[in-house]
Homo-oligomer: A and B are copies of this chain.
Amino acid sequence: MKNSLILYSGGMDSTVLLYHKREEIALAVSFNYGSKHNDREFYYAALNTKKLGIEHVKLDLSDIIGKHFSSHLLKTGSEIPDGHYQEPIMKQTVVPFRNGIMLSIAVGLAESKGLKQIYLANHFGDHAIYPDCTSAFIEPFKEAAKAGTYEKIEIVSPYVSITKRDIALIGKDLDVPFKYTWSCYKGKEHHCGKCGTCVERKEALEGFDETVYT
Contact = CB atoms under 8 A, between A and B. Distances in A.
B104 A101 contact: yes
A3 interface: no
Contacts of A113: 70
Interface residues of A, number: 44
A1 interface: no
A148 B111 contact: no
A149 interface: yes
Nearest to A105: B101
Contacts of A60: 63-64
A113 B99 CA distance: 18
Contact of A68 (B59, B64, B71, B149): B59
B134 A111 contact: no
11 contacts: A70-B112, A70-B113, A71-B112, A95-B108, A96-B108, A96-B112, A97-B145, A100-B144, A131-B148, A134-B148, A140-B140
Q: Which 8 A-B pairs have the closest CB atoms?
A: A97-B108, A96-B111, A132-B148, A137-B148, A140-B143, A136-B147, A141-B144, A140-B140
